[in-house]
Structure 1
């Protein structure tokens, strides 16, 4: 299954930027659980931990497109290095404030200020899009690899963060995440040989937001629904396991979701794409709707944790193909000069969705029976499908912009 991926790394420099980007993404997947454990242990409040984390999600969703626009304008290395070095300051400030017992508002301020973290996943996909601009099949393979690496990080990162926080010190997870994030970003920026060149800018020297493109708006709203799925599925699964008296099993159940997505992403990459990307995207969202009925049925039917785990693994297999096709579609729709900003906007939609899905699932978990919260990811998937169907004509890869898209760039 992995043999087709070898040809991606035959190109000089591809393995180096992929591994560097993997370090940075591992850091991002560690920070959520590490921050919660740190604040719950040192401040004794899960509520404080949750709201501080939410503040970082909100500012991150705003900051990501800004960083993306700067990358499109000045280049990956010129933006990534100062952004990574800047981010070390508020990150360190948060740890110092926790250690010194500073007021709670300083925690919100420091974590909200960590909004300049470079989107290494998006920049890695931009590199692949440039390197493989004349090879759509290999670009599909590269996007599948990147999605599988994302899922691998979401499986390993929280576990690594929890182990460090509970076996060494509550601060250990955050310290490791900060070090990995800075190192990964700087090593990524150092790979100049694979960095995409700056695209030609309009004669006027200015351009508007890529959100003016209807296709990006449709994809961003659909990704927002996908984010709701992720956030609600995670929290509902934890609440369900706790209601059955098996809270420690929740981490393993969530790992099964990521494992299903990782396996599906790797398999999907080896398949030759058929038909327009917009049509494939609609099929992927429709598959998510059907597969998310499985954990809903298992949860409401009291099927037990073993069957729920199988249902969650199956549900996870629907997310990677959808995300891979969505990212491929973004690369085909967006002009090269706005690729990083456009992908950052789409990822921000996912981040906002995760935050909203977690909050909504938390309310349902407190006021309804175990398993009821699985209605939320199923409903969010159905809503995402309706959005994609309503905007399907904008998902056709056509001349939505007078400038060439990445797939046509030379």
Structure 2
């Protein structure tokens, strides 16, 4: 049986843009925690570190879809070159401001400018779509990208904090900035796999977020992102309560590794079930497996429950991006993908905040209540949107995806 992952990388240019894109996306995990690690050491104030990091993360969530919208119209290279260079320069200014103890406002201004960093995961998926549009290989490519995102989150945050602690406060953010500069420029240099620009804003000037499929999937993945963040915060709180705080990193790693492995398996399968049904099934698994988390009372039980709750995360992302590719006009594709990525990021930010409040107010064992509620809301969102996600009036050719009988 041929390896489906080997097949997708036989496409001309695929190895190049995928490897460069993997490096370029490292800041998505490294930069926010790198800012916290840097400023908490240089200024000794966690509120300031958190505020600057949140400023960067929320601004990037707002800016990235707008940048991707312009990318759809003008092309990747014309937009990514200036935005990447601005982001690199801004990160350098942020590190200098921290090192030289410049006024506090310079930290926030630099963080806002750094937030112009484009969404490289969206750019990479747009290139895969250009190569394999309406072909089964696209599902495998999206599975690879979702697993790569998981790997970045597993390694990136740990690397950023580890460097800042072991070397000097700015080391984690410096490494992140180097990854962005080298990976980003290497990705931009590969012009032959760049998707064709539309030449005009798709949809008569409308944003992709006005498309109902984008709204449904983005909202659902806000809840999924909250589940992702809840697992991290609750794992730290519960292991500390059990007197084994060092086990938190192991538990979080088990959670991410489970999702990573299952994502690779799903990507190797050529499933014929309609994508909206696959998404509903994956979210059902997430919603159901959240419940055992409420009853864990030991680290081994926590690790097992967290592993089970994470197995459907990557399949959810894979089918969500597959639906975006099928249900959003090609002229809006990069922006549509970026909105979904933004939804995940917003969900993680909100999930961390809400879970932290629940843990502080009601105790560590109640943190996973957020996962239960978020899982139910994500499933409900997709179930209510099944008709829209099924592609009524979609641009998808009939042969591209089997349609279920009503």
Query: Shorter-chain TM-score: which interval?
Result: over 0.9
Give me the whole-angstrom Cα distance separating, in 1, the residues matched to 2:178 and 2:35: 15
In structure 2, the residue matched to 1:97 is 97
Report if aligned partners of 1:333, 1:398 keep a CA contact under 8 Å in 2.
no
- Where do 4+ consecutive residues of structure 1 move more than 6 Å? none
Question: Are positions 1:3 and 2:3 aligned together?
Answer: yes
Return 5+ residue gaps in structure 1 as ranges: none
Secondary structure class of the residue paired with 1:77: helix
Report if aligned partners of 2:75, 2:196 keep a CA contact under 8 Å in 1.
yes
Cα drift, residue 361 of structure 1: 0.8
Cα drift, residue 368 of structure 1: 1.6
Report if aligned partners of 1:28, 1:181 keep a CA contact under 8 Å in 2.
no
Give me the whole-angstrom Cα distance separating, in 1, the residues matched to 2:247 and 2:103: 35
Question: Are positions 1:149 and 2:148 aligned together?
Answer: yes
Give me the whole-angstrom Cα distance separating, in 2, the residues matched to 1:351 and 1:130: 25
Give me the whole-angstrom Cα distance separating, in 1, the residues matched to 2:6 and 2:303: 32
Secondary structure class of the residue paired with 2:114: coil
Report if aligned partners of 2:146, 2:314 keep a CA contact under 8 Å in 1.
yes
Cα drift, residue 89 of structure 1: 2.0
Cα drift, residue 205 of structure 1: 9.4
Secondary structure class of the residue paired with 1:50: helix
Q: How does 1:128-207 map to 2 (within 5 A)?
A: 128-135=128-135, 137-199=136-198, 201=200, 206-207=204-205
In structure 1, the residue matched to 2:244 is 246
In structure 1, the residue matched to 2:360 is 366
In structure 2, the residue matched to 1:119 is 119
Q: Given the superposition, is the C-alpha separation of residues 366 and 205 from structure 1 closer, same or farther in structure 2, using an over 3 Å criterion? A: closer
Give me the whole-angstrom Cα distance separating, in 2, the residues matched to 1:36 and 1:83: 23
Q: Given the superposition, is the C-alpha separation of residues 366 and 398 from structure 1 closer, same or farther in structure 2, using an over 3 Å criterion? A: same
Secondary structure class of the residue paired with 1:10: coil
In structure 2, the residue matched to 1:40 is 40
Q: How many residue pairs end up in the alignment?
A: 400
Q: Under a length normalisation based on structure 1, what TM-score does the superposition of the two structures give?
A: 0.93
- What is the aligned counterpart of 1:279 among 267, 277, 280? 277
Give me the whole-angstrom Cα distance separating, in 1, the residues matched to 2:214 and 2:28: 25
Give me the whole-angstrom Cα distance separating, in 2, the residues matched to 1:200 and 1:71: 10
Cα drift, residue 53 of structure 1: 1.4
Give me the whole-angstrom Cα distance separating, in 2, the residues matched to 1:2 and 1:260: 24
Question: Are positions 1:227 and 2:225 aligned together?
Answer: yes
Report if aligned partners of 1:223, 1:346 keep a CA contact under 8 Å in 2.
yes
Q: Given the superposition, is the C-alpha separation of residues 328 and 134 from structure 1 closer, same or farther in structure 2, using an over 3 Å criterion? A: closer
Report if aligned partners of 1:219, 1:388 keep a CA contact under 8 Å in 2.
yes
Q: Given the superposition, is the C-alpha separation of residues 2 and 42 from structure 1 closer, same or farther in structure 2, using an over 3 Å criterion? A: farther
In structure 1, the residue matched to 2:25 is 25
Deviates more, 1:16-25 or 1:287-296: 287-296
Give me the whole-angstrom Cα distance separating, in 2, the residues matched to 1:200 and 1:114: 27
Give me the whole-angstrom Cα distance separating, in 2, the residues matched to 1:404 and 1:95: 50
Cα drift, residue 108 of structure 1: 2.0
Deviates more, 1:272-281 or 1:259-268: 272-281
In structure 2, the residue matched to 1:391 is 385
Q: CA RMSD in A?
A: 2.1
Question: Are positions 1:310 and 2:304 aligned together?
Answer: yes
Give me the whole-angstrom Cα distance separating, in 1, the residues matched to 2:319 and 2:372: 20
In structure 2, the residue matched to 1:65 is 65
